[in-house]
Amino acid sequence: MESKFMTYKGYPLVRKGSEIYFGYMSDPYVVWMQIDKKQTEGDIDVSQKIRLYQMSTDEKLSPIEAITKTSERDTLYDALDVAVAWLERANSK
């Protein structure tokens, strides 16, 4: 059975707790996001501080060596737009 992932601008998005993995593991790079700060508005948690890490999918590298770029954004949408730009540039080489 084929599993379906939520996508954003054509890239799969997988969330586990306060971590989001974005991109295809078959590509040279993916983006890992950590939600550091949330604010509750009504009964919804809204992300307010997201750290982004572009990571190589090369399994020979340690997690520290795999990180090639970092950034921080205030909203999830801003973080996702940065992640899309990174992946389009890095995976098109």
Per-residue pLDDT of 15-64, as tens digits, reads: 998 899 999 999 999 999 999 877 777 887 767 799 999 999 999 999 99
pTM of the complete model: 0.85
Q: Where are the domains of the chain?
A: 6-90
SS3 per-residue string spanning the chain = CCCCCEEECCEEEEEECCEEEECCCCCCEEEEEEEEEEEEECCEEEEEEEEEEEEECCCCCCHHHHEEEEEEECCHHHHHHHHHHHHHHHCCC
Does the pLDDT value for residue 93 go beyond 70? no
